[in-house]
Amino acid sequence: MILVITPELIVPNETDCINQMFQEGLYLLHIRKPWISRNEMIGFITQIDDSFHSQLVLHTHYDLGKEYQISRFHFREIDRKEEAFKTFAEENMISTSVHDITTYNTLDKVWEYAFISPFFPSISKKGYGLDSTIKEEVKHRNNPDVKLIALGGINQDNIHEVFESDIDGAALLGAIWESEEPLKVFRKCRNVLMS
């Protein structure tokens, strides 16, 4: 499965591009916009076709889930430690982020999946992940309850390596949004997965 994470700041034609990616088989979209207000988030969500709302994952403004039939929520590592997710866990799908396999292996089955990053050196955060050992650490995965999604530096040239590892999916961020043609990059990544 391929997931896409939004850039932190709104980019031109972003929601048009998101609707097209959904039409072409995008599995889930993580809306990660930590700086936008509740009203800006409402504006953003309403520009995404209603039929795709069930495939949206909120990182903030969780209360909007009920209004827009969104039942997927992502919690950062810090939120997990504060157990802020517990009120959402019963009726919704929740995901989280980890930065090492040891932490991932301790997650309980309340989590649908976890991002592990950086898998490759980051595209959007220059210099981040240059000395990452995540790709090797994945061999020590022993958590059968939580899907593992690779994040960080994934593009059409290396996505095949993700799926050759013991990984359940890939999350795209920089490859999509740092590109002049985000949809084309998404198609290429999806085609690698399908071939």
Q: Residues 70-103: pLDDT tens digits?
A: 999 999 988 888 877 888 888 899 999 999 999 9
Task: Give the pLDDT of residue 124.
Answer: 73
What residues contact residue 192 under an 8 Å CB cut-off, 6+ apart? 156, 159, 160
pLDDT above 70 covers a percentage of the chain that reads 99
**CB count in 10 Å sphere of residue 175:** 23
Task: Give the pLDDT of residue 90.
Answer: 83
Task: Give the pLDDT of residue 30.
Answer: 98
Q: Is the pTM value of this prediction over 0.85?
A: yes
Residue 156: what are its φ and ψ, rounded to 5°?
A: -65, -20
Averaged pLDDT, 37-65:
97
Flag whether pLDDT at 20 surpasses 80: yes
Using an 8 Å Cβ cutoff, are 153 and 129 in contact?
Answer: yes
Using an 8 Å Cβ cutoff, are 165 and 188 in contact?
Answer: no
Flag whether pLDDT at 8 surpasses 90: yes
CA atoms within 13 A on the CB side of 159: 24
Flag whether pLDDT at 168 surpasses 80: yes
Task: Give the pLDDT of residue 87.
Answer: 83
Tell me: the pLDDT tens digits for 103-161?
999 999 999 999 999 999 877 777 777 777 888 899 999 999 999 999 999 999 999 99
Task: Give the pLDDT of residue 84.
Answer: 76
Instruction: For residue 195, name the pLDDT band (cuts at 50, 70, 90).
Output: confident
Tell me: the pLDDT tens digits for 147-165?
999 999 999 999 999 999 8
Using an 8 Å Cβ cutoff, are 31 and 44 in contact?
Answer: yes
Task: Give the pLDDT of residue 38.
Answer: 96
Task: Give the pLDDT of residue 128.
Answer: 73
Task: Give the Cα separation of 172 and 179 in Å (integer).
Answer: 12
